[in-house]
Amino acid sequence: MNDAAILAHIGKLPHARASFKQLVRELGTKGGKRQELETALARMAERGDLIELRGGEYTVTSRSKEFVTGRLNLHRDGYGFLIADRQVPRVVGDIFIPPDSASKAMHGDRVIVRIARIEPDGRADGTIFKILKRAHATVVGEFKIGRRGCYVVPYDDRIQQWIDIPEGMEFPPAGAVQVDRIGVTAPKVDTVEELNGMIVNVEMIEYAERGDSPVGRVIEILGNPDDFGVDVEIIIRKHHLPHQFPAEVIEQAKAIPDVIPAEEIARRRDFRDLDIVTIDGETARDFDDAVWVDKLPNGNYVLQVHIADVSHYVRPGTPIDREALLRGTSVYFPDRAIPMLPSELSTNLCSLVPHEDRLVLSALMEIDHRGEIVGQEFVEGVIRSAERMTYTNVHKLLEGDAALRERYKPLVPRFELMQELALVLNRKRVRRGSIDFDLPEPLIEFDDFGAMIGVTKAPRNIANRLIEEFMLAANESVAGHLENSAPASIYRIHEKPDPKRVLDFEEVAAHFGVSLGVGAIEVKRFKMTDKRRDGSKKQSAIVLADQTNISSRHYQKLVAKIEGKPEERILSFLMLRSLKQARYSTDNVGHFALAADTYTHFTSPIRRYPDLVVHRLLRAVLLGKPTPEEDALSVIADDCSQSERRAADAERELVEWKKVKFMAERVGEDFDGLIISIAKYGLFVELADLFVEGLVPIDSLQGDQFTYQENVRKIVGKRTRREFSIGDKVRVALDRIDNNDRKLQFSLVEEAPQRGGKRRRQVRGT
């Protein structure tokens, strides 16, 4: 009997519980099968599907009202919250874990929590019952020497425990890989005293489950905190990003022939006589996609999207495939990238470089004047890219740059047709309610040494939109085909927003006199005394009904309404925050922001593993071969969603770190800013044109006693009734930088009256 059948049997029993002897009797497992049952129960308990209670009974976790599994999210103050895998009856939000229980685990650990109590408003407390999977096999931090010996202080302040380093474990083992920070080798250290204050990576030997200190051994010495490139190395290890390809992966990649066999080309559709082009950013090194557009006699368009055929080279279960799945995605830092595939594939064999034969999977679409796909075909092909174009050059060409139009004269009509089709496709998306947040993207500028020297607004022009529209069309087309042709597939889904977040946004939007117009949201409020989480005596908790009537059109209409207005940036940012994160799933619930019923990722298999899986599914359908089962695809989808978030967090954190270093030389300077958030402890301000944010503490506001009024989300002066609200423009001075937390603290700068009618500058702050 398999695991699913055992779980189903226990789940049908009273209270979903059963002892081992009871299961032996009821399932008829005697002799060797008895041992198999015992092994299966242990396996499911280890995985968290079952919980073994003190009385020897097993209960199904997913059916339990007392136990719940999930990921532990720790706060640096010691307490934590469980982000549960499933919705727990009567529980609203995450489950609070007090410090004494949270100290048994580390941030990110997968745990089982026993629910201790559920309050009337739906908030719940719990304690850690069992740790299922440790999130940190290694920890990066600063090596210290103290009276108690050697230890490491983790760089992640959510990991509370300092890690003891026993004598003899202070240095990496012989033969360990030497860290090479882009041509700069980490310093050689001979004594423990020299190691003091350096950044090291530690392998965990013992975890602190019973209140004692965890123990580890040093496996890498990264260098001094301020050394060139150490910040990147810290982020890589803090987020546990696989960054070194195993020898067997490199070996396999180098063994792949550079020349495409003639018989492989012969069996594919040949597109080499077409003037197909790639269009990417100036710094791109790998080219996943190439496009070609034409017009038919009936007035319809032909769009060809050719995607690098990575699945031809990377077969399931091979060393390269296993490593690609482990990474899930490429990670892009300002001064380097951590690719999903070895360079032999990512920048050579699979990359659609110009004037070279390359294998592709192609989506061929016929599109009418309303942007509807009236015909489609998917084929294995071979192309030879005519040009490697950049967004900048295509934009200038379409804007009439004479030199570029002469240089690419044979391609000019093709680009103009691309622009025409892209506008048709965009109008179609607008008609169905697709949301287009045109938020300015910061482009961080760095010098040759990796130091930030400025920030500019990233260009987004018609050339970017060309590729966006064509890739969206190809992704939708492939998703629909697989939904109709394959038993199961991986989709890119974006669920409807949470009603609580919609309500939060509506309360802020009302300050600007606008609304999403979704109608009334059912709200129940409870008042209670609660000092566990934030020390406040009274707190308002909210329970919301499911908001079924909200659609992407509500967002789309508001985006159009505020376009060009002063509040556009702040409201667009807050709208974006009210939405859920997109993710991968085998359960197709559509894509809310795109207003698409069916959507997937097909166009970037060099840098995203789900795209590679979709390629394999499409090829299997084309060739009439079996496809993977839904359970296997579901595991891949979940793993890749986690990998994507891990990469995004790492990229974001490093950029924020660079920003703080950049601002360190500007302490005392004044800046124009915009209040983007209000909290009980102060105003969060984003600096104009710099995309840098920091806090103006409430206790630094002078001239009155200021308090936070939660019902209107404002900070208000008790005597003057002066208000600070989201969207207000302010002038601030940078007071100080907290290097440990990498956060900025500002104070307000105002003009104060002076004798004789003159005005003098006054800094209201610490």
Q: What is the rounded distance in angstroms from the CA atom of residue 503 to the CA atom of residue 519?
A: 11
pLDDT score of 510: 86
**Tens digit of pLDDT for each residue in 655-682?**
888 888 889 889 999 999 999 889 998 9
pLDDT score of 739: 75
- For domain 65-133, is the CATH number 2.40.50.140? yes
Phi/psi for 193 (5° steps) reads -60, -40
pLDDT score of 26: 85
Q: Is the pLDDT of residue 285 over 90?
A: no
Bigger pLDDT: 158 vs 471: 471
Q: Is the pLDDT of residue 19 over 60?
A: yes
Pairing of strands 138-146, 199-206: antiparallel
Confidence band of 294 (pLDDT split at 50, 70, 90) = very high
pLDDT score of 182: 61
Q: What is the rounded distance in angstroms from the CA atom of residue 350 to the CA atom of residue 341?
A: 10
Pairing of strands 110-118, 67-74: antiparallel
pLDDT score of 160: 83
Phi/psi for 139 (5° steps) reads -140, 130
pLDDT score of 741: 75
Q: Is the pLDDT of residue 765 over 60?
A: no
pLDDT score of 208: 84
Q: Is the pLDDT of residue 527 over 60?
A: no
Confidence band of 751 (pLDDT split at 50, 70, 90) = low
Whose structure tokens read 């699913």?
Answer: 4
pLDDT average, residue stretch 395-408: 96
**Tens digit of pLDDT for each residue in 423-455?**
999 999 999 999 988 777 777 787 777 677 887
pLDDT score of 211: 67
Q: What is the rounded distance in angstroms from the CA atom of residue 157 to the CA atom of residue 161?
A: 9
Phi/psi for 10 (5° steps) reads -65, -40
pLDDT average, residue stretch 143-158: 92
Please indicate whether the domains covering 65-133 and 667-764 agree at the CATH topology level: yes
Q: Is the pLDDT of residue 760 over 60?
A: no
**Tens digit of pLDDT for each residue in 172-228?**
887 666 676 665 666 788 899 999 999 999 999 999 876 678 999 999 999 998 888
Six-digit token string for 404:
């570029």
Task: State whether the Cα torsion 647-649-650-652 is positive or negative.
Answer: positive
Instruction: Quote the DSSP letter at residue 512.
Output: G
Q: What is the rounded distance in angstroms from the CA atom of residue 310 to the CA atom of residue 96?
A: 45
The gap from C-alpha 247 to its chain's centroid, in whole angstroms, comes to 29
pLDDT score of 457: 74
Residue 756: Cβ-neighbour burial (10 angstroms; 0-12, 13-18, 19+): exposed
Map residue 472 onto helix, strand or coil: helix
Among the listed residues 428, 412, 413, the one whose alpha carbon sits nearest the alpha carbon of residue 472: 428
Q: Is the pLDDT of residue 144 over 70?
A: yes
pLDDT score of 602: 98
Of 180-189, 644-653, 699-708, the least confident: 180-189
Q: Is the pLDDT of residue 553 over 50?
A: yes
Rg (CA), the chain: 29
Among the listed residues 358, 319, 359, the one whose alpha carbon sits nearest the alpha carbon of residue 342: 319
Q: Are 37 and 18 in contact (CB under 8 A)?
A: no
pLDDT score of 264: 96
Map residue 581 onto helix, strand or coil: coil
Pairing of strands 149-154, 163-165: antiparallel
Number of neighbouring beta carbons within 10 Å of residue 114: 16
pLDDT average, residue stretch 617-625: 96
Q: Are 576 and 497 in contact (CB under 8 A)?
A: no
Six-digit token string for 272:
């080499």
Q: Is the pLDDT of residue 752 over 70?
A: no
Mean pLDDT of the chain: 88
Q: What is the rounded distance in angstroms from the CA atom of residue 586 to the CA atom of residue 337?
A: 29
Choose which CATH entry (3.20.20.10, 1.10.10.10, 3.40.50.2300, 2.40.50.100) describes domain 3-62: 1.10.10.10
Instruction: Give the angle subtended at the CA of 735 by the CAs of 732 and 737, to the nearest 5°.
Output: 120
Confidence band of 753 (pLDDT split at 50, 70, 90) = very low
Phi/psi for 595 (5° steps) reads 55, 40
Amino acid identity for residue 571 in this structure: L
Phi-psi sector, 668: left (phi>0), alpha (psi -120 to 50), beta: left
Domain ranges of the chain: 3-62, 65-133, 138-238, 247-428+440-480+609-619, 667-764
Whose structure tokens read 């059963």?
Answer: 18
Q: Is the pLDDT of residue 724 over 80?
A: yes
pTM confidence score = 0.88
Q: Is the pLDDT of residue 524 over 50?
A: no
Confidence band of 549 (pLDDT split at 50, 70, 90) = confident
Q: Is the pLDDT of residue 262 over 50?
A: yes
3-state secondary structure 187-224: CCCCCHHHHCCCEEEEEEEECCCCCCCCEEEEEEEEEC
CATH classification code of 667-764: 2.40.50.140
Q: Is the pLDDT of residue 542 over 90?
A: no
Map residue 665 onto helix, strand or coil: helix
pLDDT score of 543: 40
pLDDT score of 536: 36
Among the listed residues 82, 15, 94, the one whose alpha carbon sits nearest the alpha carbon of residue 55: 15
The beta-strand segments (E) located in 440-581 are 442-446, 452-457, 491-493, 523-529, 538-544
Bigger pLDDT: 40 vs 455: 40
pLDDT score of 181: 66
Q: What is the rounded distance in angstroms from the CA atom of residue 726 to the CA atom of residue 131?
A: 41
For helices 230-238 and 630-663, give the axis angle rounded to 10 degrees: 150
The beta-strand segments (E) located in 27-87 are 50-52, 57-60, 67-74, 80-84
Top-confidence range, 421-425, 679-683, 761-765? 421-425
pLDDT score of 89: 84
Q: Is the pLDDT of residue 635 over 50?
A: yes
Confidence band of 689 (pLDDT split at 50, 70, 90) = confident
Six-digit token string for 236:
């890589």
Amino acid identity for residue 672 in this structure: D
Phi/psi for 36 (5° steps) reads -60, -40
Number of neighbouring beta carbons within 10 Å of residue 627: 20
3-state secondary structure 289-310: EEEEEEECCCCCEEEEEEEECH
Number of neighbouring beta carbons within 10 Å of residue 593: 20
**Tens digit of pLDDT for each residue in 567-606?**
888 899 889 999 999 999 999 999 999 999 999 999 999 9
Confidence band of 540 (pLDDT split at 50, 70, 90) = very low
Q: Are 314 and 320 in contact (CB under 8 A)?
A: yes
